[in-house]
Structure 1
């Protein structure tokens, strides 16, 4: 049966709030933590974007739950050799409870240094090479690497974990899912799509960890919850490749009229009907997921954790 975790939103909350939410998640009975890795929020209404590696350091002291980035793009904004050092230190500080989630990223976060934002096939090539570099460095050996996308010279990490850090690969289409099956220690995707889970497992993923995440908006006033979802997370309903290629929060805000409140309502469970929350998470279990992470969009975080502790988590498969 799946484990259920809490998804911490670095786009919506500052570091102190994220740490406090992690504490409440552990007390409520959640079994793991995801935390997003962004340079910008998706839009100005979300309003935050702390440096994820600093927050993970604080989480290592505040809670005993496993922690995973969902997800880090180790290809453009930060060189994979630097990501490897951050990963190694995080794994040591959490005493082996850290997993690295990786993906091909978005221009929103990765173009900030003026580098070219490459097309999707090139981003997949870069991600595969970056994972190779990170894995080699995490062994503590001295690494020299001269690949098509990255150069590493005489690099060695001296602070490394005792055990290898699992690296899970995010995928939302057939090519990325195939890459996850081939190189990942696990697979991350954000919809309860049984076909993609099957594709991963049959493509070489086998029994490796499959993780997914979903957003909810808990609150007593359902209509207010719908408005909150539409105001803060309309970006998730934008069509096509917009999420991968738009460069600033302002560009996402310009497309907000494309997303109606009805569209937002259909995509996120809103309100305090426990049956609806249980059903949304059960869809991931039915699709074959091993872990499911929940992100509360609304401001009532304490109410959300109490609600899940008493009325949702005890009823999940």
Structure 2
């Protein structure tokens, strides 16, 4: 597969109208797909936003024509019941004319604890996600169903508006255990690290469960472009130092204050080592390359800083995409 490049609608960085404007511009400059985070809270208070992702995605579906759209990712187990996720993903697929992929994951305490149902163990969250996917797929058939599960029930439930194009499901996977649990039930892999062995495991599992295509492997990488490297580094440190914690930590912290405390000793130079900062587009390409080397077919960029999006899209995105496509496998 030709490597595709995406743009991240980071709901933690912009309000809803700005996100839609950014989505329109990202399509215009040539991104292949767009992914939207689905959070109740920003990671750090410095980011300053967290509108409802599904309202934004609906507006983006109406305002764009070509780009594929992802929820990246939605937790369908605590804050949302799976029957609600089934309904809104089917509706969005209709609005997007078949361009939507439902990205799912086990979630983070930051977003899910707010409904007062606690924060289950990872094993329990994985069990809940497997059951939620089963229920969502049953509802996407448009049939009247009654479902009795260990975690979720549905009584005489039916989706009345079902898209002609089935809603593909991508699942966030981080290691051997999750790839074995979710590989057989997901259409696409979603991951945040360029782990080649994970992609190979994924392909092996997908090949063993059917004769169709193995699906896409979708990754994401933050960047902090700015004409001034020090400004880019300071902004990345201010708004994205939470990224240094890793998902095993990030999934369990419940508040922005928790993330601020957990990253209090992360230095700007630490962030600059992990995230390409500044005007050098070749450095960004070098940072993205491990993803295609690991076998990822789709790579979404996160430009850090809500106030920088229009400058990034208007001045840099097109030459950056050209460099990325020249360097990536075809």
When normalised by structure 1's length, the TM-score is: 0.96
Cα deviation per residue 1:260-313 (whole Å; 9 max; x = unaligned)? 112211111111111111222222111111111111103322221234444221
Inter-partner Cα distance in structure 2 for 1:106 and 1:137: 25
SS of the equivalent of 2:98 reads coil
Does structure 1 residue 234 correspond to structure 2 residue 235? no
- Report the equivalent of 1:106: 108
Residue of 266, 269, 272 corresponding to 1:262:
269
Residue 243 of structure 1 corresponds to 250
Task: Name the count of aligned residue pairs.
Answer: 317
**Counterpart in the other structure of 2:154:** 152
Per the TM alignment, residue 210 of structure 1 is displaced from its structure 2 partner at its CA by 0.5
Contact 1:238 1:258 in 2 (8 A): no
User: Which segment is superposed worse, 178-187 or 140-149?
Assistant: 178-187
Cα distance in structure 2, aligned partners of 1:163 and 1:29: 24
| Matching of residues 42-121 of structure 1 within 5 Å | 42-64=43-65, 65-121=67-123
Residue 313 of structure 2, aligned match among 305, 308, 312: 305
Structure 1: give runs of 5+ residues left out of the alignment: none
1:168 touches 1:180 (CA, 8 Å); kept in 2? no
Q: Tell me if structure 1 keeps the 8 A contact 2:30–2:318.
A: no
Q: 1:172 to 1:240 in 2, by over 3 A?
A: closer
Distance in 2 between residues matched to 1:45 and 1:6, nearest whole Å: 21
Cα offset for 1:251?
A: 1.2
Structure 2 unaligned blocks of 5 or more: 208-212
Give the Cα–Cα distance (whole angstroms) in 2 for the partners of residues 230 and 135 of structure 1. 40
State the distance in 2 between where 1:230 and 1:210 align.
28
Q: Distance in 2 between matches of 1:258 and 1:149?
A: 39
Taking the aligned partners of 2:245 and 2:165, their CA distance within structure 1 comes to 40
Higher mean Cα deviation, 79-88 or 297-306?
297-306
What is residue 219 of structure 1 aligned with on the other side? Answer: 226
Taking the aligned partners of 1:190 and 1:74, their CA distance within structure 2 comes to 19
Considering only aligned residues, what root-mean-square deviation do their CA atoms show, in Å?
A: 1.4
Partner of 1:10 in structure 2? 11
2:25 corresponds to which residue? 24
SS of equivalent to 2:18? helix
Aligned ranges 1:189-200 → 2 under 5 Å: 189-200=191-202
Query: Where do 4+ consecutive residues of structure 1 move more than 3 Å?
Result: 306-310
TM-score of the two chains, using structure 2 as the length reference: 0.93
Supply the distance in 2 between the matched residues of 1:240 and 1:5 (Cα, whole angstroms). 21
* 1:132-173 Cα deviation digits (max 9, x unpaired): 100111111011111100010000010110121000010112
The worse-fitting range, judged by mean Cα deviation, of 191-200 and 104-113 is 191-200
Aligned position for 2:210: none
In structure 1, how many angstroms separate the alpha carbons of the residues matched to 2:318 and 2:109?
40
1:140 aligned residue:
142
- Distance in 2, Cα, partners of 1:228 & 1:199: 36
